[in-house]
Structure 1
Amino acid sequence: MNILGISAFYHDSAAALVVDGAIVAAAQEERFTRIKHDPGFPSHAVGFCLQAAKLQAEDLDFVVFYEKPLVHFERLLETYIAYVPRGFRQFLMSIPLWLKQKLHLPRELDRALGGRYKGRYVFTEHHESHAASAFFPSPFEEAAILTLDGVGEWATASAGVGRGSRIELQKVIHFPHSLGLLYSAFTYYTGFRVNSGEYKLMGLAPYGEPKFHDLILKELLDLKEDGSFRLNMRYFPYGYKTVMVDRRFERLFGAPVRKPEGPITEHTMDVAASIQSVTEEIMLRMARNVHQETGMKNLVLAGGVALNCVGNGRVLRESPFENIWVQPAAGDAGGALGAALFVWHQLLDHERKVGVRDAQGGSLLGPAFDDEAVREFLQSVGAPHHTFERLADLYDCVADLVASENVVGWFQGRMEFGPRALGSRSIIGDARSEKMQSVMNLKIKFRESFRPFAPCVLVEDAPEYFGLEPGQESPYMLIVAPVRPDKRLDGDGAQATGLDRLKDKRSVIPAVTHVDYSARVQTVDRDRHGPLYELMSRFKARTGCPVIINTSFNIRGEPIVCTPEHAYRCFMATDMDVLVLGRHLLYKHEQPQVPQHDVERYKSQFKLD
């Protein structure tokens, strides 16, 4: 049975295909259109999923949409009416699109599938889709469930339990009270883009002190011991305006909204630290409560807030749960996968088989390109390259290059599903290098210098370097753990404050150690990450270090690369030294020089936020 799940029209559209209960393919539309967080119908992603399974639209048994649009529309109307006349401008902006498209999803789906699909359309609830995406692929027979995001139809968070092939959501928080929207309000206040800048806010938090933690709890929300809360809506105009905060909010925190690209002050850093601290406290209270209510030893999470890997790390270390598993595509994109799995297990009542590891296969569910396709592309653009007949020789060569502080674009196998590059569409470097963080931020990624990079570590060596227990894995880069004390260094800049702390050498792997000695860890194993594991094993043999830098293969404002062409263009427009496409290796110094205006045109295609 073939089930296609779709998320679309709001944020980060995606498609996922489940065949007889197995996850066959999944991808975000942005990777094909090159529009960051593309909200349009995921026609390219749908086409890829069908092609990957060698199916046509008429072969599908179910097409599932990840939320109920009529209930979503009801919430919008009730909100506009509640704020009359203040919400009239937002009403005029959104209603035409709903009347033209979003209220007619079966028609839109028919059109997108070329009229060839003759089956039934199913609409799951938004947080049901999140919960299904968290539990059904997890490696647990039973688990407690937490979903946390901005808002679905009405729900903004839910808690429940999964057993076997069933999930049940037992507690729900409703709009306008939302942890995701609270965090986004502070993202907006600190000058970052909502729905994409939350990572920056989390990365900035360790530079500050949580001086406003108590003020937030006193003035902005009423937080209960079980993690439930109500926001003080006097400070949040998002129900009737296109802005997240207003003058009252600015007066409370003693400064206006930071202008995008404006200076990052001590105040900005302290605000970031404060909302991060409050978010972690809410996540911990919710986790402890759902553990008390369910008695489960395992916890699964999804929803956009579940991408807060610092909070996830604290839940892992400080909550009563023995194990946690976070959906790699925790945001709206993962809803497409959850919707498809919900139909297979919950509606059709098919048995769920649990393995030692999760069913998502490293989340390597996107397109792949064989050696012939790569060779044809390289020949078409006249790119000088070296082809390795033996992959072992390629890994040896790249290990030497990384150890010599070269920055390498690494393009292998199937593209990742979710916001993280996990070793298939990655830029890698030497974690031991003191200069690598600044070089990669400013000359490769074209982004803020304060943003940390993630370490990849061989799974068997992870407990030696990071605060993970033997056997604990973090294959999806969704857990922040402390660097072990014996790997830390007392830098000369111990008295440095603010962004000056970036200059301190904090550990034996300074390029991936944040200013608070934390790291967003990805564990690498041979089964999930074969090529990367082989490369890293050789790097360890040469250097004694099992850790490298891994960051997504893109520049700031651009989606992660999907095709060899995307990778080559990004390689040529940045200061990357080497590009590896499958078994083909390219050196920058051997490539034809790209005119500067072509480089600037490439960068200008993306709205740098």
Structure 2
Amino acid sequence: MGNAYLGIASFYHDSAATLVVDGVVRAAAQEERFTRRRHDPSFPKNAVAYCLSSAGLKLGDLEAVVYYEDPELKYDRVRSNFRSAGPRAFKAFVNAMPEWDSWKRNVLATVRHELSELFPGQSCEIRHSTHHRSHAASAFFPSPYEKAAVLTIDGVGEWETTSIWRGDGTALEQIAAIHYPHSLGFLYSAFTQYCGFKVDSGEYKLMGLAPYGRPRYADLVRDELIDLKVDGSFELNTWYFDYQHGQRMVGRTFERLFGRRCRTESEDIEQFHCDMAASVQQVTEEAVLGLARHAQEVTGLDHLVMAGGVALNCVANGVLDRTEMFRELWIQPAAGDAGCSLGAAMDASVRDMGKRPHLFTAGNDGMHGSLLGPEYAPEEIRRRLDAFGAVYEDHGEDVWEATAARLAEGDVVGWFQDRMEFGPRALGNRSILGDPRDTAMQRTMNLKIKYRESFRPFAPAVLDEYADEFFLRRSPSPYMLVVSDVVPHLRRETAGGLGSINDVRSTVPAVTHVDYSARVQTVTSTSNPSFHKLLSRFAARTGCPVLVNTSFNVRGEPIVMTPEHAYTCFMRTEMDTLAIGPFLLRKQDQPEFRDSQEDWRSEIPLD
């Protein structure tokens, strides 16, 4: 089958595997989708098995398996951190170092062992990359550009927390870097924890909360916590942070600075927390703009690609895009650590082959819409539905029309089609959909289906050819990673408070945030033909080429992968309709659902 490479990211969070053949991404999946454990850090044995089986490959058919970072460099950083942290880090040292000394330092041996368990009697070469190179490769090589500046920003890899690269054809050259403990990702995560959300999980909640506040504390953040330098670099005042000493991001010093202790999850969100979110969001945007400006100066290029966890901050991405600093911006849809599996594999492939697939046509990239996971044939779906005793109608090629009709009548629809998405966003194949014109839709979806906080916004999926009629955008946003404003003439008055969940806000209120912004997904007939067809059918019925699109799951649960996951989520929630393959299921037609996990809400840890 050509030159095949398997990339692996694992053992910290968001484990994943990616198969690249002749420089083209063929399959990719996160382990959490199989195990149903959110952000699963374990070795991605299920994802690995899927990637190889999907292409009919054995382990011995691969040129190499590439691990996404350098374990020896990471060990050096962890050991150095504990040495410099002193007595305050003793407890964390005692808990962490035995694991590092026993296997994490030599993690490639663990990878080799896990692969031998999966594929007895088979072997192949095992290599490693480095964390930020994997991020950079995931951003540049699948991008639609022959040349681009590359910016990666996250918490920390081995030592690097931020890096700037120049991508040119098959070459990827690092230009600059910022090192631990100075981390923009850790700054944002510190405020995530302070406002009562989970680190490495709740940062998007903080971003969604920010528009309800004012940046009252931004000057204090700049004065005390982060020094933003003229060249785009930055330094944190580590006196205020606890991440060097243990498992928490912040402690009493941070609390004293802002005059309040950390919010617990059970406590109400107050205006103070909204203002804190707005403050760190504003400073983060300034930092990202400074880094991007420096990237342009040192590379001299007019296209920018991004990866790393901070690249998932779609509000900052929108601010950057609107500056027109770069002609175009492209962000890796799996920008977090899962995407490093893709970058590690692509980097090895491009290096060994000495060439890169030519995908540089307008509006095209190498991610195939990020629809890279498992899919299920209609007869397989039918068999699995029958095992539940499910009642369904087979609409065949009319499923798009039938689903559009249900959406137009106000149904909330679970939509399960084709290959599963890779990355954190549902992009129209494992989605829950609704009518964006319905003023009650946001509340219904948040409280009755997603079982999550009422303030959290939903994203619009819009036909690309009509996007400019609804949103102020500069370029396509196929991966829901750039926030745009709703066009002014569609806006309506809004009270703007945290509890204002029924405000009309615009003619598409269910996808309009309190500040008239929206996390837009533009859909074309090439990026996702099936989803484009559904949007087109809905537009023909209603005159509205927009749908509410949120991930097919409940709060704290990974996105559904299998028909069983989809049917179970459908029956546990107040969704009205399930469209799965060619089959349409109405909730009122279904037999009584006997849940194997009667206490399922307590079984799923909240995000």
Q: Same fold (TM over 0.5)?
A: yes
Q: Amino acid of the residue matched to residue 487 of structure 1?
A: L
Partner of 1:51: 53
2:167 matches 1:168: no
Q: Amino acid of the residue matched to residue 91 of structure 2?
A: R
Partner of 2:481: 478
Q: Amino acid of the residue matched to residue 522 of structure 1?
A: Q
Alignment of 1:31-110 (within 5 A): 31-110=33-112
Aligned-pair CA distance for 1:92: 1.4
Partner of 1:380: 387
1:499 alignment partner, SS class:
coil
**Contact 1:482–1:518 (CA under 8 A) maintained in structure 2:** yes
Q: Amino acid of the residue matched to residue 80 of structure 1?
A: F
Partner of 1:126: 131
Partner of 1:365: 372
For the residues of structure 2 that align with 1:594 and 1:561, how far apart are their CA atoms?
18
1:522 alignment partner, SS class:
strand
Partner of 2:580: 581
2:261 matches 1:263: no
Partner of 1:570: 569
Q: Amino acid of the residue matched to residue 263 of structure 1?
A: D
2:286 alignment partner, SS class:
helix
2:506 matches 1:503: no
Aligned-pair CA distance for 1:119: 2.6
Aligned-pair CA distance for 1:600: 4.2
Aligned-pair CA distance for 1:100: 2.9
Q: Amino acid of the residue matched to residue 207 of structure 1?
A: Y
1:253-282 CA-partner distances (Å, limit 9, x unpaired): 111100013100000000000000000110
Cα–Cα, structure 1 residues 600 and 354, in superposed 2: closer, same or farther, change >3 Å?
A: same
**Contact 2:457–2:512 (CA under 8 A) maintained in structure 1:** yes
**Contact 1:287–1:319 (CA under 8 A) maintained in structure 2:** no
Alignment of 1:316-327 (within 5 A): 316-327=321-332
1:276-326 CA-partner distances (Å, limit 9, x unpaired): 000011011111111122121100000000000001111111141010100
1:308-360 CA-partner distances (Å, limit 9, x unpaired): 00011111111410101000000000000000011111354234423311011
Aligned-pair CA distance for 1:190: 0.3
Q: Amino acid of the residue matched to residue 284 of structure 2?
A: T
Q: Amino acid of the residue matched to residue 604 of structure 2?
A: F
TM superposition score normalised by structure 2: 0.97
Cα–Cα, structure 1 residues 562 and 53, in superposed 2: closer, same or farther, change >3 Å?
A: same
2:402 matches 1:403: no
For the residues of structure 2 that align with 1:109 and 1:243, how far apart are their CA atoms?
29
**Contact 1:58–1:116 (CA under 8 A) maintained in structure 2:** no
For the residues of structure 2 that align with 1:3 and 1:599, how far apart are their CA atoms?
39
Aligned-pair CA distance for 1:503: 2.8
Aligned-pair CA distance for 1:132: 0.1
Q: Amino acid of the residue matched to residue 563 of structure 1?
A: T
For the residues of structure 2 that align with 1:78 and 1:174, how far apart are their CA atoms?
13
Q: Amino acid of the residue matched to residue 298 of structure 1?
A: H
Partner of 1:489: 492
Picking from 272, 275, 282, the partner of 2:280 is: 275
Q: Amino acid of the residue matched to residue 223 of structure 1?
A: L
Partner of 1:15: 17
Aligned-pair CA distance for 1:489: 1.3
1:218 alignment partner, SS class:
helix
Alignment of 1:164-563 (within 5 A): 164-356=169-361, 357-389=364-396, 391=397, 393-469=398-474, 472-491=475-494, 496-563=495-562
For the residues of structure 2 that align with 1:353 and 1:44, how far apart are their CA atoms?
31
> Aligned residue pairs: how many?
600
**Contact 2:146–2:360 (CA under 8 A) maintained in structure 1:** no
1:113 alignment partner, SS class:
helix
**Contact 1:2–1:19 (CA under 8 A) maintained in structure 2:** yes
Which stretch of the first structure deviates more once superposed, 88-97 or 553-562? 88-97
Of all paired residues, the percent bearing the same amino acid is: 53
Cα–Cα, structure 1 residues 85 and 319, in superposed 2: closer, same or farther, change >3 Å?
A: farther
For the residues of structure 1 that align with 2:213 and 2:356, how far apart are their CA atoms?
49
For the residues of structure 1 that align with 2:194 and 2:91, how far apart are their CA atoms?
22
**Contact 1:60–1:117 (CA under 8 A) maintained in structure 2:** no
**Contact 1:157–1:178 (CA under 8 A) maintained in structure 2:** yes
Partner of 1:601: 599
For the residues of structure 1 that align with 2:367 and 2:498, how far apart are their CA atoms?
38
Aligned-pair CA distance for 1:108: 1.6
1:59-109 CA-partner distances (Å, limit 9, x unpaired): 111000000001000000000000121111111111222233322323222
Q: Amino acid of the residue matched to residue 602 of structure 2?
A: S
For the residues of structure 1 that align with 2:575 and 2:500, how far apart are their CA atoms?
26
For the residues of structure 2 that align with 1:76 and 1:203, how far apart are their CA atoms?
32
**Contact 1:164–1:352 (CA under 8 A) maintained in structure 2:** no
Aligned-pair CA distance for 1:593: 2.0
Q: Amino acid of the residue matched to residue 544 of structure 2?
A: C
For the residues of structure 1 that align with 2:218 and 2:603, how far apart are their CA atoms?
39
2:199 alignment partner, SS class:
coil
Structure 1 residue runs of 4+, over 4 Å off? 597-600
**Contact 1:167–1:346 (CA under 8 A) maintained in structure 2:** no
Which stretch of the first structure deviates more once superposed, 224-233 or 428-437? 224-233
1:111 alignment partner, SS class:
helix
Q: Amino acid of the residue matched to residue 3 of structure 1?
A: Y
Aligned-pair CA distance for 1:24: 0.5
Alignment of 1:146-157 (within 5 A): 146-157=151-162
For the residues of structure 2 that align with 1:292 and 1:170, how far apart are their CA atoms?
11
For the residues of structure 2 that align with 1:151 and 1:600, how far apart are their CA atoms?
39
2:246 alignment partner, SS class:
coil
2:414 alignment partner, SS class:
strand
For the residues of structure 2 that align with 1:100 and 1:51, how far apart are their CA atoms?
32
For the residues of structure 2 that align with 1:408 and 1:226, how far apart are their CA atoms?
49
1:181-207 CA-partner distances (Å, limit 9, x unpaired): 000000000000000000100000000
